[in-house]
Chains A and B, each alone.
Chain A
Amino acid sequence: MNRWLKEDLWRHIVAGIAVLFALFPLYLVVISSFNSTGSLQITSFVPREISWANYQMLFSSPTIPYLTWMKNSLLIAGSVALISVLIGSASAFAFSRLSFKGRKSGIQVLLLVQMFPAILAIAAVYVIMERVQSFAPSIGLGTQGGLILVYLGGAMGVNIWLLKGFVDSIPKELDEAAKIDGASEVQTFWLIFIPLATPVLAVVTLLSFIGTFNEFILARLFLVDMESRTIAVGLQQFIGGQYSQNWGPFAAGSIIASIPIVIIFLSLQKYIVNGLTAGSVKG
């Protein structure tokens, strides 16, 4: 007992305090989401009731098209993740397996480009997409199609970089064998590499999904219409400055939106930490 006190007690105290710190905001959101008054004011830190009023409001109130926002987010983040990983894996494969002139300088350019935070060029993206809108209204400013295209461009640098690391770790023997059997590079990619790398590609797709789901500022700039917003923009505009009025439904909405992300994240923890140590940081 004495030894336990001496050696383990401080560990429990440190961890306990950190757990309280970590849980405090989450606990507050959960109890306010079940509070029927929907008020930001906390009268008691112990929950008094479990009311579903805030949740019901999300799905019935015409002022919060919550389901539409959620659908938009899933659609945008999903298509960006899938397409960018497919296109990115082709480039990563070529960087990793093909030898060609300019390979090294290509990698260096990519490294530099992926360091340029998209947000720095946001004024330029805005002006360019404004011009695109003048001749192609369906993919210009203010449309989800345009936003997806901009995300795809932005995702390229990071994804190719990340995927290249993964591809390098896949043994070369199999595709070399395929090459000896007379398969072309393109066939090797589709028939050998893609099936082999599916688990890795799935992980990167999910990571890319989380990243896009979390993106705020481009979405804010692009999606002006209530109906076209993503969940992040929708909830931010909904709560914007009116914390006291809209807190309850916001709390409920942010919980529902966070659950899938938290589940994906926890199940991918191992890969995410590895990916992070490879030098990229989640937003």
Chain B
Amino acid sequence: MVRGKLALAIKVIVLALLSALLLLLAQSALAQQEYLIAGFLYLAILLALFTYLTKKSIPLKFFLPGILLLFAFVLSPILFTVTMSGFNYKTGNIISKEEAILQIKNRAFEPDAAGTSFDIKLGTYSEKPALLVSDITTKSYFVSTTDERIALSPGQLTLNQDQVAQNAPGFTPLPIDQISAADKTYSGKRFKYQNEYFLSIEGVDVAIVARQTLTYNQAGDYFKNILNGTVYRDNGRGNYQAGNDKTAILEPGWRAPIWFENYSKLVTDKRFRDPLIRVFIWTVVFAAATVLTTFALGLLLALALNKPIHGRRIYRSILVLPYAMPSVMSILIWGGMFNTEFGAINTLLGTQIAWFQSANFARFAIILVNLWLGFPYFYLVSSGALQAIPNELLEAAAIDGANPRQIFRKITLPLLLQILTPLLIASFAFNFNNFNLIYLLTGGGPRNSLDGEIAGATDILISYTYQIAFGSSTQDLGLASAISLIIFILVASISLYGIRKSKVLESFS
């Protein structure tokens, strides 16, 4: 009974602490206008209280923590990926439309014809951000805020040896330690100068004279260039564009829904279709070659060691070492061994091959390294499968006069293949997405990045996707998401096929 009370007390305390923590997070998410995240957190608190304080649902008591984690870090990223794949979501089109409009307005100015610039001090005037401006050529000084300009005479001021004003009555200079952080408050603001011209800061101690070039018309949702009258309209793809000229767009753009275009351009646009097909073929070749070579070597070893010969245990423990090593380390080690100048492989062969500069050598290196990483697995599972084949079967065949080769080809191999097919399929699916190997060994290269080529000769689909999303100068998250989903459908079909196979097998045994 005491134990029960203790357990209850612990439960209530843990629950209270957890809810308080989540509530705190939810409040700060709300303050940052992350409504979806905040909503999820509130829902999580309600669910937790409901589940653990009532007896309504027993299974939920077991599932809730797992469900919440799965939803937050697996399901919602998947849903987000699906959403992103329908958007024009890439470098230059990352922010929302409202933010984009604001930024276009702030950036749309041109310096005056003479390129006038002044020395300034950052500070505040009547509690508002202000500039203390020194025009040292004409010896005129003034304080400028966003809505007024207060002229000063040199006598009122503290000047340094360059005649730049350091302080003025009513003006409070920004303390030195706040200057670097002040950039956000001051840049983008228009400080008063004269007529349509204003001052805009170009660093912490210089401001230039400029005037606005674009105005935004909210009712018509367009930007108009004040100077030459050009009109920029929403082109439906996340940019304001002048006429039909696709290059005449305003920066930045925003993430705009383009529905299935990320998918359709993979089929219709030659620039995307050709690399995708090339990468896809290599992905299949790589995965198939890996499964074949690792299985062949593994099976050969399993057959060789399927008899208690001398030293079998030593052989066995050495042969599993490549599999036991952390693969990241092994791949990096192989990377060093394939080094052109100093690598052990060239030293051993007496050659000077630049392994990772040539497409075919790089591909060969990748398959060789993956053979090293993967053959112990198939050695282990083939050994297990060989033991599972009933001896009577083999003996019966021998009595019937079959020679060892016939026994292997007609009985052992077909049975083994039947047992191991699901594993071969799983291995194919795993290698289809073997990102670490490609990324750490060749980085997908060699690739001709000077031509703007994103897909390298050894890139598989997943590393190609990563390049599109993070690796090149234009980070195209929308396109990368679309390819991600295609890969998922491919891999899930392969895996489900494998599971079906193993189910069929289970019902036999």
Contacts and interface: CB of A to CB of B under 8 A. Distances in A.
Same complex? yes
B171 interface: no
A254 B495 contact: no
A52 to B, nearest CB: 20
B502 to A, nearest CB: 7
Contact of B304 (A14, A136, A232, A236): A14
A41 B348 CA distance: 11
Interface string A10-42: 111011001101110110110000000001111
B408 interface: no
Interface of B: 25, 28-29, 31-32, 34, 37, 58-59, 61-63, 65-67, 69-70, 72-78, 80-81, 84, 297, 300-301, 304-305, 307, 309-311, 315, 317-330, 332-337, 339, 341-344, 347-348, 372, 375-377, 380-381, 384, 422-423, 426-427, 430, 433, 435-436, 439-440, 462, 465-466, 469-470, 477, 480-481, 484-485, 487-488, 491-492, 495-496, 498-499, 502
Q: Which are the 9 A-B pairs with shortest beta-carbon distances?
A: A153-B73, A94-B62, A121-B77, A265-B324, A124-B80, A124-B77, A41-B342, A135-B32, A135-B28
Contacts of A111: 499
B456 to A, nearest CB: 16
A98 interface: yes
Contact of A239 (B323, B336, B347, B439): B336
Contacts of B481: 123-124
B66 A135 contact: no
Nearest to B485: A120
A236 B441 CA distance: 11
B78 A94 contact: no
Given A90-B66, A153-B72, A273-B380, A121 B81 contact: yes
Contact of B309 (A12, A112, A257): A12
Contact of A243 (B37, B310, B336, B348): B336
B372 A132 contact: no
Contact of A279 (B307, B426, B433): B426
Given A42-B347, A257-B329, A273-B384, A132 B37 contact: yes
B470 to A, nearest CB: 8
Nearest to B58: A185
A131 B70 contact: no
A112 B492 contact: yes
Contact of A15 (B304, B335, B342): B304
Given A115-B495, A135-B34, A127 B62 contact: no
Contacts of B477: 123, 127
A156 B75 CA distance: 11
B336 A15 contact: no
Contact of B307 (A11, A217, A283): A11
B419 to A, nearest CB: 9
Contact of A25 (B34, B69, B309, B372): B372
A258 B337 contact: no
Contacts of B492: 112, 115-116
Given A132-B34, A157-B74, A244-B342, 14 more contacts: A11-B304, A22-B321, A25-B334, A90-B66, A116-B488, A125-B77, A127-B84, A216-B328, A216-B439, A239-B332, A243-B339, A247-B336, A250-B332, A254-B329
B63 A91 contact: yes
Contacts of A279: 422-423, 426, 498-499, 502
Interface string A63-92: 000000000000000000000000110110
Contacts of B320: 265-266, 269
A214 B328 contact: yes
B343 A40 contact: yes
Contact of B440 (A117, A127, A185, A236): A236
Contact of A235 (B297, B319, B329, B498): B329
Given A123-B484, A185-B58, A232-B328, A87 B65 contact: yes
A281 B429 CA distance: 10
A262 interface: yes
B487 to A, nearest CB: 6
A31 B328 CA distance: 20
A147 B76 CA distance: 16
A97 to B, nearest CB: 9
B378 to A, nearest CB: 10
Q: Is the interface of B mostly helix, strand, loop or mixed?
A: helix
A213 B305 contact: no
A152 interface: yes
A25 B333 contact: yes
Nearest to B80: A124
A123 B480 contact: yes
B74 A113 contact: yes
A182 to B, nearest CB: 12
Given A23-B321, A90-B63, A115 B491 contact: yes
B435 A21 contact: no
A280 B84 CA distance: 29
Residue among A12, A93, A257 having the largest count of chain B Cβ atoms under 10 Å: A12
21 contacts: A8-B307, A12-B309, A25-B330, A25-B337, A41-B347, A90-B63, A90-B66, A100-B58, A116-B74, A116-B488, A120-B485, A123-B469, A123-B484, A124-B77, A132-B34, A134-B32, A185-B62, A186-B61, A216-B440, A243-B336, A273-B380
A224 interface: no
Nearest to A281: B430
B110 to A, nearest CB: 33
B73 A152 contact: yes
A64 to B, nearest CB: 14
Given A22-B322, A244-B341, A122 B73 contact: no
Contacts of A174: none
